[in-house]
Amino acid sequence: MAERTHHFERLTPIDNMDLTVYEEAIDYAFDNSDIKNVAISGAYSAGKSSVLASYKKKHSELHFLHISLAHFKSPEQDDETEVKESVLEGKILNQLIHQIPSAKIPQTNFRVKKRVSAKSVLKPTIEVVLFFIAAIYFACFDIWKSYVNTLPNNWFKSILTLSTHQYALMVDGILMVTLLLFIVYGLIRVQKNKNVFRKLNLQGNEIEIFEESDDSYFDKYLNEVLYLFENADADVIVFEDMDRFNANRIFERLREVNTLANIQLQKEDKKVLRFFYLLRDDIFISKDRTKFFDYIVPVVPVVDGSNSYDQFISHFKKGGIFEKFDESFLQGLSLYIDDMRLLKNIYNEFVVYFNRLNITELDCNKMLAIIAYKNLFPRDFADLQLNQGFVYTLFDSKELFIKEESENLSEKISEVLHKIELAKNEHLKTIKELDAAFEDKKSIDYWDRKQELSAADKKDYAERKQAIENRLNNTIPDLESAKLSLEQELILTQNKPLSDIITRDNINKIFSITSTNEIGYVTEFNEIKSSEYFDLLKYLIRNGYIDETYADYMTYFYENSLSRVDKTFLRSITDKRAKEYTYKLKEPKLVVSRLRLVDFDQEETLNFDLFTYLLQTSHIDYTVRLINQLKDTKNFKFIGAYFDTTVELSAYIKYLNMSWSEVFSIALSEWLLTENQIRRYSICSLYYSDDDIIELVNKENCLSDYISNARDYLAIDNPDIDRLIHCFTLLGVCFIGFDYAELNKDLFRAVYEKSLYEINTENLQLIQREILEEKNEDDFFHKNYTLLYSHPDSSITQYVNRNVNEYFDVVLQISGGTILDDEKVVVAILNNSDLTIEHKQSYISALRTIIVSIKEIEDSSLWVSLLDADIVQYSEYNIMDCFNIVKLNESVISYINRCDIDLDFSKTEYDEDTKEKLFDSAIICNDINNSKYKQILVSLEFFYDNFDIAEIADDKIIILIDTDIIRMTADNLKFMRENYLNLKFYFIRKNIEKYIDIMDDALFSQEELLEILIWDISDELKIQLLEFSNNEISIIGKKYSPVICLHILNNNFSESDLSELFSSFEQWDDSIQAKIFDYAVKNIESIMDTPISVSEKLKNNLLHSDKVSRDKKIDFLIAIMPELCRDSIKEILTLLNLMDYLKIFDTRSRPKFEINDENEKLLTAFKENNLIDSYQENPEKEGYYKIIRFKPATKTLPQELL
C-alpha cells in the first residue's frame, strides 16, 4: 500500500479505548443472571458505541447481535415527530431475521430469499412420481397383465412378463407404502414448521388440524418475535439509536419480549438472553428509567465545549497544519463543538478542501469556518452554492443593511446640519432675548393671567435656545466636524463588509432576516435559527470568518494574462462593465481560451468579433451558452444588429434557431425586430436551418402562420423554389391570400400545384379566374362546385376533393343561401363520404335543385333534410323509398301532407309485404292529415278482421270505420269497447246490421242496447237486440216508440218505473196504458199506499174495472178518501152500491149499518176524514152501528145581552 501523505480520522466507533471501570461495570451485568435489560447511556457522541466495541473485542467468547435503528430528521420533519411502534417492530424483525441463519429458525413465517438447490427439489419429485407410478400399476395390474399377454412373443415381452407376476404386485405394494411414509413424513415436517394446513372443512364443519396449543395472547407478531429471539443463539442483542425515534413504548414491548424469551430459554436450560440499549440520558424525563432497566452503565462524554479545543489541536497537529490557524479562532470555534464525530469530520473535510484548492493566499481560518458551517448546516451550504439559503440571503441583503445604516447616518447628518443652520441663522443674541420674545407669545386668560406656551411654541423655543447656546459656546465648528465625520462614515459604509455592519444593536435584527421569492412565499429559515449551533454561525459571520469572499473557499480559481486589448475586454467581463458590441478584439481565440463557460452568461461577453469567431470554430458549447444568454435576457438589440452586419449569416441563423427555437416567435409577437428583419429572418431560416430545427422554430405555428398571412411573401427575387416548397410543405404553410401583381409567378404556380393555399373566397376566385379561366361571376357564387366538376383533373379540383369540408365552408358562405348546382353534381356531393354530415345538411338548406328520386342519395340520414328542404319531387315512389329506410318520421309525414296531389299506391310496383308494412305504419300515424291518410290506406287495399291497434286518434278511427277497414267482427267490437270507448257507438251505428248479425249472449252489452234504443233505426232491429236482454229497462224519460215500450213492459219491465207510470198514465199510448193498468191492478196495494201520485184516470179505471174486486175497491176508496170531495165520495159510493152510506150526507136521515168488518172499515174512514164525529153500536137495534154526527156550533150571546 502506498504511503499516505495526508492524515484522516474515521468516524466509526473505536475498539481500543481504555475501558477501566466500564469493563467491570459490564462484567457485573453478565455475572448476574437477573440482569437482562441493560442501558448504556450517555449524550450523543459520548462514546457509547466505542465502549461496547472495545468490550466485544476483549470478550470474543460472547456473541453479540446488533440492531441499529438509525433515524435522521428530514428538513420538513418536526423535532418531536414520533414514529409508529409498528414501524420500529418491523425494523427490529427485519434486521433480526437477516442476522439469524434460516436453518436455526425453520418454523418462522418470515423468510429470507435464498437460492433453492436442484437436489432438494429433485429428490421429493422422484419420490412423488414413483409413488403415482406404483399406485397406477397397483390399480391397473389386471389391465397391464392383459396388455402384456397381447404382445407378440419376443425378448421384450419376456422382460415385461416379470411385471405381471403376483410377486411383482406385492413388491409394488411394499414400494408404495415406503414412498408414502417418506411423503407423509415430509408433509408433517412442513406442517410442523410452517403450519400450512390449519383447518379442514368437511360438509360445512371446520376441523382444526395440527392445532398449536401454546399460542401467545399477544398480537400476531409477538410469537414470531419470541421465536426469533429464542433461536438467535446470542448472548446479547444490542439496540442502537432507538432513542432517535421518541417512541418510549417500544422499550416496554422489548422488556416484555425479553422476559418471555428468557422464560422459554430457562425451560429449555439455555443461556440468558440480555438486551443492551445504547441511549441518550434524556430518553426518559423522570426516574422511570431506573424502573425499566435492570442495570444502567453511564458513559462520560469524550468531547464537549470545554475540551474540544484540545481535540482540534491534536488532530491538526497530526495532520501537520496546526500552525496555519489562529489559536484564538480555534478556541472560539471549539466552544461550540461538542461532538467527536462532528469534530473529526470537520478536520477531514478541511484537509480535502485545503489540498484541492491549493491556493496559499486563502485564509485557513475562513476555510475552516466554511467547513464548520458546511457540517453544521449542510442544506444551507448546498443552497449557498445555488445562491439560496440563509447565509446567501444574509449577504445578499447586505445592501439593505447598508441602506438602513446609511439612512440612519443621513438622518444624523441632517440633524447636525439643521443645528448648524439654526445656530447660523438665529438673529437673537441671548437667552434673555429669546425668553422675552416667547413671553409675548403667551396668551392671557379671562383673569389676566398668562398661559403656558403651546406644544409647537415649546418645540420652537427649545430649538432656538439650543442654537443660541451652540453659537455662544462656539460649538458650530464641532458640529461641522461631526457632520464631516458622519459623511465620511457614510461613504465608508457603502463598502463595509457585513461583519463591520453588525453591531450589538442590530445583530438580532440582521440575523432574523427572511427571504421572499417571486410568488410572495416567505422563508423564515426557522430550521437554521432554531438550531443549537445558530450562535456558532453568528459568531463566524460576526467576526468575519465567513464573509463576502466565501465563494473563493468553495470553488477553484485560475489566473492568466493577455494582451492589453483583449485583457481589457476580459477585465470588463470580470468587473461587469460591458463594452460596446462592436469592440474590436485582437485575438478572439486567446480570449475564448481564457473564458469559462459560465462567463458567457454575462452580457459583457456580447461582442461581434467574439461571436463571429465562435460561429467560425467548433466552440459549440460557448456558442450555445452565449445564445442562451441572449435568450434569457431577450437581447434583441444585439440579435438584430448582428443580423444586419454578420458575414456568417447561415451559421448565425442555424445556431440561433438550434439553441433558441423561440427567437422568431418572440420577435414576431413582441415586435422586437423590424418588419424587414423578421421577413428576412424567416426566409433565411427556411434556407439555412435543418427540417427538425424549422419545426422547432415553428412554435405554436408562429412561422407557418406568419408566412401564410403574408400576402407578398412570394415576392422573392431568384427564389430557391424547390427548397421553399419543401419547407412550406414541412411547415404546413397555407397562404390565406396573394398579392398577385407583385408575387413571383413561377413560385405562385408551384404553390398552386402543391395546394399550399387556404380554401377561401379570394383564393378560389383568383385561381378559377387566372388558372381555370372561368369568368361567370354568378356561377362562381351559386354553382361553384359545378364549375370545378367540369375540370376534374385540375389541381384545385383535386385539392378541394381532399379538403371538401373546408371548401364547403366557403361555398356555403358565398352562396348567399342559394345553390343551383346541377342534379348530378348534387348527387355526387351528397354521396361524397368525406363531406361531413353537418356540411351536407347546410348544403341541403341552401340547395334549390329538385331531386327526382331520393334513393339516388346513398346516405339515407340525409333524406329527412332533403324532405324538410322541399327539394324532393312529390311521388308515391319517394314516399315508399323513404318509408323503407326512415319509416314514417316527422319529415316523411310533413312531405306526405305537403302536396295536394292525390296519392294512389295501387299502381306502384312494390311487393305486397312492403305495402302492408306501409299500411301498418300509416294506420297508426296520427300526424298524417285525414285526406292523405284516407288516400294511402284505401289505395293500399288492406282491412282488419281482427283490429288490435290502440291510441289511434279518433278522427283516424272514424276514417277507418267509414272506409270499412275496421270490419264489424266480434273481436273488433270487443277491442273497440276496450280501447275506443267514445267511438264504439259510431262503429256500431255504421255497422248496425252486421252488429246485430254477430250478436250473441256473450257479446251482448246492455249499455250498448240502451244507447241503440234511442237511435233512429227500425224497431225490428231494436227488438232483435232486446231479445238478448233479461235486465230491467226503464222507459221513463225515453223517447222509445210505443212498440219498443210495449216490448220492454212485457219483457224487461223495471219495477222502479211503476210510480212514474202510474202518475203519467194519461200520457201514454192506449196499448201502453192497457199494460200500465195491468201493472196497477197487480200493484193496487202499493197504489193505496201513495194514492196521491197516481193519475186520476188510472184511479178511476181501477174503480170501474171488473179486474179489481169489490173489497179492493172499498180499500182503494178508503185510501183515496182524504183527497176526495164529498161529491166524488158520493159518486164512488154509488159506483160501489153503498147506498146506505149516502145517507150520512143527509142530516135528516139516521142510517144504521150492520156490524161487520166492511162497515167498520168504512165508518172508521169516515170518522178519520171528519165526515162523522163517531160511530157506535146501536143500543136500540142490536147488531147495527149508528153514526154520531158533529153537533152544530152554538153562538155565544154577548154579555150585555145576558
Q: In what order do the strands lie in the sheet with 274-279?
A: 64-68, 236-240, 274-279, 37-41, 295-298
Q: How far is CA 952 from CA 439, 469, 886, 978, in A?
A: 117, 121, 21, 13
In sequence order, the 6+-apart residues with CB closer than 8 A to the CB of 776 are 787
Query: What is the three-state SS of 97-152?
Result: HHHCCHHHCCCCCCCCCCCCCHHHHHHHHHHHHHHHHHHHHHHCHHHHHHHHHCCC
> What is the C-alpha to C-alpha distance for residues 839 and 833, in angstroms, rounded to an integer?
11
The residue among 1145, 1075, 1167, 1161 whose CA lies nearest residue 1112 is 1161
The three cell numbers locating residue 116:
433453492
The three cell numbers locating residue 995:
252488429
Query: DSSP for 1004-1071?
Result: --HHHHHHHTTSSS-HHHHHHHHTT--S----TT----HHHHHHHHHHS--GGGHHHHHHTGGGS-HH
> What is the C-alpha to C-alpha distance for residues 739 and 342, in angstroms, rounded to an integer?
79
pLDDT digits (tens, 9 = 90+) for 678-707: 888 888 888 888 899 898 889 889 999 999
Task: Judge if pTM exceeds 0.75.
Answer: no
> What is the C-alpha to C-alpha distance for residues 1044 and 26, in angstroms, rounded to an integer?
134
> What is the C-alpha to C-alpha distance for residues 518 and 372, in angstroms, rounded to an integer?
31
> What is the C-alpha to C-alpha distance for residues 1168 and 1118, in angstroms, rounded to an integer?
10
The predicted structure's pLDDT at residue 726: 92
The predicted structure's pLDDT at residue 306: 57
Please report, to the nearest 10 degrees, the dihedral formed by the alpha carbons of residues 853, 859, 860, 863 taken in order.
-60
Q: What is the DSSP code (8-state) at residue 325?
A: S
> What is the C-alpha to C-alpha distance for residues 370 and 552, in angstroms, rounded to an integer?
10
Q: Rg of the chain over CA atoms, in angstroms?
A: 64
> What is the C-alpha to C-alpha distance for residues 945 and 282, in angstroms, rounded to an integer?
106
Per DSSP, helices labelled H in 299-363 are 308-318, 327-334, 340-357
The predicted structure's pLDDT at residue 727: 92
The residue among 803, 804, 738 whose CA lies nearest residue 771 is 738
Place of cell 404546413: 732
Helix axes 1096-1104, 1126-1135, angle to 10 degrees: 30
The predicted structure's pLDDT at residue 846: 92
> What is the C-alpha to C-alpha distance for residues 604 and 577, in angstroms, rounded to an integer?
7
Give the end-to-end CA distance of the chain in Å, rounded to a whole number.
184
Where does 32-75+87-107+219-298 sit in CATH, by number?
Answer: 3.40.50
Place of cell 202510474: 1062
H or E element that contains 54: helix 48-58
> What is the C-alpha to C-alpha distance for residues 685 and 694, in angstroms, rounded to an integer?
7
Sign of CA dihedral 911, 912, 915, 921: negative
In the structure, how many helices (H) and strands (E) does the chain have? 62, 12
The residue among 46, 17, 87, 35 whose CA lies nearest residue 279 is 46
The three cell numbers locating residue 504:
450589538
Residues of the chain with pLDDT under 50: 1, 72, 74-81, 197-219, 360, 557-561, 1197, 1201-1202
Count of CB atoms situated within 10 Å of the CB of 489: 15
Domain ranges of the chain: 32-75+87-107+219-298, 118-194, 308-397+513-553, 400-509
Pair 520, 547: CB distance under 8 Å: no
Q: What is the DSSP code (8-state) at residue 362?
A: S
In sequence order, the 6+-apart residues with CB closer than 8 A to the CB of 775 are 769
> What is the C-alpha to C-alpha distance for residues 825 and 785, in angstroms, rounded to an integer?
8
